[in-house]
């Protein structure tokens, strides 16, 4: 059973109506590591709906969290906003400076600035969650009841956190963080409490009172999280392994949720997504690939497949080079299988049946449109990568595919895929072993490096290529004929051919590449090379 169906079964034990939550603090640029959480939530919601339950995906925007520091992409002017809530300060402009004009005219905040591109990426991969801005929830009083319980029973809350987490809270800790006279959560000391007011003194000596009912402050994270579970009626939430560790915020949250009077959601802990050779992605370190950047390279269904086909407790290594090619190969291979016919085989072992069912569901969950099954691709990822390099125009690609009988007219999905493919090829992510650099004129340096035997191949190559049809099989046969005519092995034939056509010692498979090039142009190149 696929992991999403396992979660759906667990939810069914708790009723027929569910809210699956995900959430992120919009403190900087989002990366595809963040996609794992929301795609995991989306897939659980889909599985629950498939099982006949009502399920809604929500996205909690933690814009009540403070700005922690002046990140490298920010101007020093943001020093004044450290400790201020992300939903209450201006967004950075193109130079990293506070964009006061847009903040005053449109209310465009720091949190909005980083959230919007992520939402645009989500729409491309078929995820449109209900947004739940946390700052608005505080200001509308939704946290007030939980905050009152926490403040009234502060000693119990402290005991839970210290016992479960194994760490001692500082003296003077209080379960409400007031905003100071300047709107900051930092450097504020609580001096007293009578609901709804928390009395404080800030680092400048100024005194004041924070009204909990008006959201003039916030709960610390370990209280904020379980409070949201209650008033949002959250029944399931996936989260990263840091929150799921023993003594982590989910462990404390379970007990605090019950103190608040509700049950914690069904959890699912997931592992990180890392960049191949670079480790776990981190916005603060700059070790990231953003969702929009990833989607310029990766078809959205393959990005979904990356998550759907990996168990949540398995770390994912995102490789934008050959790993992407291999991932696409696997996806396309699975799309072209008839899973239901395979499952009709009564002789299948239990293990094999489980493998087939898991693969079938992974492909289903990879579809952008939940209501439509994904059909097998008419053009493979590898072949499209080849065509996009040897055909400078899209029309040339379509003509080549039509001539080979691969398709009649390109559909919207294939047009979109070619656009992303061209972006991938133009980027630094494209694997060199797939890069095609065809020579326009003979490469004298490469040809001069050939041995006497290999130069004999160049002399007979035009004759051999002229004898066979200009397709993969014909060109392959021509290379064999050149081996016979030059009385050399196939290694020498390919060494000579790469020198002629690419000015290199080796490269991608030549026959598929040449078959998509103009025959006369390639034969002219061979003739010129032989004449040197």
354 neighbors 1 (Cβ within 8 angstroms) = yes
The alpha helices in 337-451, defined as continuous H runs, are: 339-343, 350-366, 381-390, 394-403, 412-426, 444-448
Per the listing, tokens 């696409």 go with 328
Spatial distance between the Cα atoms of 85 and 66, rounded to a whole number of angstroms: 4
Q: Which residues of 323-362 are buried (b: 16+ CB within 10 A; e: fewer)?
A: ebbebbeebbebbeeeeeeeeeeeeeeeeeeeebbbbbbb
Burial label, 107 (beta-carbon count in 10 A; 0-12, 13-18, 19+): exposed
SS3 breakdown of the chain: % helix, strand, coil, rounded to 5?
50, 15, 35
DSSP code, position 406? S
Beta-strand relationship, 197-201 and 207-211: antiparallel
Token reading at 403: 């001539």
What are residue 217's DSSP bridge partners?
Answer: 178
Upstream peptide bond of 405 is cis (omega within 30 degrees of 0): no
Identify the pLDDT of residue 280: 59
Q: Could you tell me how many residues make up the chain?
A: 532
84 neighbors 111 (Cβ within 8 angstroms) = no
Spatial distance between the Cα atoms of 244 and 183, rounded to a whole number of angstroms: 32
Cα dihedral value 458, 464, 470, 471, nearest 10:
-90
Identify the pLDDT of residue 378: 72
Spatial distance between the Cα atoms of 159 and 523, rounded to a whole number of angstroms: 82
Identify the pLDDT of residue 22: 97
185 neighbors 210 (Cβ within 8 angstroms) = no
Q: Classify 525 as helix, strand or coil.
A: helix
85 neighbors 210 (Cβ within 8 angstroms) = no
pTM: 0.89
Spatial distance between the Cα atoms of 11 and 5, rounded to a whole number of angstroms: 10
Instruction: Give strand ranges (E) for 299-427.
Output: 316-318
pLDDT in tens, the chain (532 residues): 899 999 999 999 999 999 999 999 999 988 888 899 999 999 999 999 999 999 999 999 999 999 999 999 999 999 999 999 999 999 999 999 999 999 999 999 999 999 999 999 999 999 999 999 999 999 999 999 999 999 999 999 999 999 999 999 999 999 999 999 999 999 999 999 999 999 999 999 999 999 999 999 999 999 999 999 999 999 999 999 999 999 999 999 999 999 999 999 999 999 988 877 665 555 555 556 777 778 888 889 999 999 999 999 999 988 888 888 899 889 988 988 999 999 999 999 999 999 999 999 999 999 998 877 666 567 888 899 999 999 999 999 999 999 888 888 888 888 988 999 999 999 888 988 889 999 999 999 999 999 999 999 999 999 999 999 999 999 999 999 999 999 999 999 999 999 999 999 988 899 999 999 999 999 999 999 999 8
Burial label, 510 (beta-carbon count in 10 A; 0-12, 13-18, 19+): buried
Spatial distance between the Cα atoms of 490 and 184, rounded to a whole number of angstroms: 73
Q: What's the order of all strands across the beta sheet hosting 279-280?
A: 279-280, 273-275, 316-318
Spatial distance between the Cα atoms of 63 and 85, rounded to a whole number of angstroms: 6
Beta-strand relationship, 197-201 and 217-218: unpaired
66 neighbors 83 (Cβ within 8 angstroms) = yes
Token reading at 153: 């029973």
Residue (of 277, 319, 318, 321) closest to 432 by Cα position = 321
Give me Rg for the CA atoms of the chain: 30
Phi-psi region of 451 (alpha: psi -120 to 50; beta: other; left: phi over 0): beta
What are residue 236's DSSP bridge partners?
Answer: 20, 266
């Amino acid at each position: 059973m696929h992991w999403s169906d396992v979660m759906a079964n667990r939810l069914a034990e708790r009723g027929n109506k569910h809210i699956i939550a995900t959430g992120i603090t919009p403190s900087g640029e989002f990366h595809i590591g963040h996609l794992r959480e929301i795609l995991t939530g989306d897939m659980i919601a889909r599985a629950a709906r498939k099982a006949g339950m009502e399920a809604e995906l929500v996205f909690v925007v933690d814009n009540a969290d403070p700005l922690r520091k002046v990140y490298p992409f920010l101007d020093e002017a943001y020093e004044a906003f450290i400790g201020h809530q992300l939903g209450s300060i201006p967004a950075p402009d193109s130079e990293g400076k506070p964009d006061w004009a847009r903040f005053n005219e449109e209310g465009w905040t720091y949190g909005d600035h980083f959230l919007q591109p992520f939402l645009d990426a989500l729409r491309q991969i078929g995820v449109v969650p209900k947004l739940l801005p946390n700052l608005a929830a505080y200001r509308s009083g939704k946290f007030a009841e939980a905050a009152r319980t926490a403040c009234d029973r502060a000693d119990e809350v402290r005991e839970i956190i210290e016992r479960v987490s194994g760490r001692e809270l500082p003296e003077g800790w209080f379960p409400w963080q007031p905003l100071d006279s300047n709107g900051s959560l930092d450097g504020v000391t609580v001096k007293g409490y009578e609901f709804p007011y928390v009395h404080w003194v800030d680092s400048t000596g100024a005194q004041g009172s924070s009204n909990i009912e008006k959201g003039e402050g916030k709960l610390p994270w370990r209280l904020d999280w379980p409070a949201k579970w209650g008033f949002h009626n959250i029944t399931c939430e996936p989260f990263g392994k840091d929150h799921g560790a023993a003594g982590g915020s989910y462990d404390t949250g379970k007990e605090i949720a019950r103190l608040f009077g509700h049950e914690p959601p069904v959890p699912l802990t997931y592992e990180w997504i890392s960049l191949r050779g670079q480790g776990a992605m981190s916005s603060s370190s700059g070790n990231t690939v953003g969702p929009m950047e990833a989607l310029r390279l990766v078809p959205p269904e393959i990005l979904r497949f990356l998550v759907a086909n990996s168990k949540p407790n398995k770390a994912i290594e995102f490789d934008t080079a050959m790993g992407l090619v291999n991932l696409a190969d696997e996806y396309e291979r699975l799309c072209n299988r008839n899973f239901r016919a395979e499952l009709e085989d009564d002789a299948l072992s239990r293990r094999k049946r489980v493998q087939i069912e898991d693969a079938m569901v992974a492909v289903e969950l990879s579809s952008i449109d939940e209501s439509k099954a994904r059909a097998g691709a008419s053009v493979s990822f590898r072949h499209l990568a080849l065509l996009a390099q040897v055909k400078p125009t899209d029309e040339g690609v379509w003509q080549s595919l039509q001539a080979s009988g691969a398709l009649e007219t390109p559909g919207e999905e294939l047009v979109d895929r070619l656009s992303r493919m061209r972006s991938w090829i133009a980027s630094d992510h494209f694997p060199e072993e797939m890069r095609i650099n065809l020579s326009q004129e003979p490469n004298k340096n490469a040809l001069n490096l050939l041995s006497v035997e290999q130069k004999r191949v160049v002399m007979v190559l035009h004759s051999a290529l002229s004898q066979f049809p200009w397709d993969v099989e014909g060109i392959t046969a021509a290379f064999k004929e050149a081996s016979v005519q030059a009385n050399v092995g196939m290694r020498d034939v390919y060494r000579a051919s790469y020198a002629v056509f690419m000015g290199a010692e080796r490269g991608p498979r030549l026959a598929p590449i040449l078959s998509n090039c103009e025959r006369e142009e390639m034969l002219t190149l061979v003739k010129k090379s032989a004449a040197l």
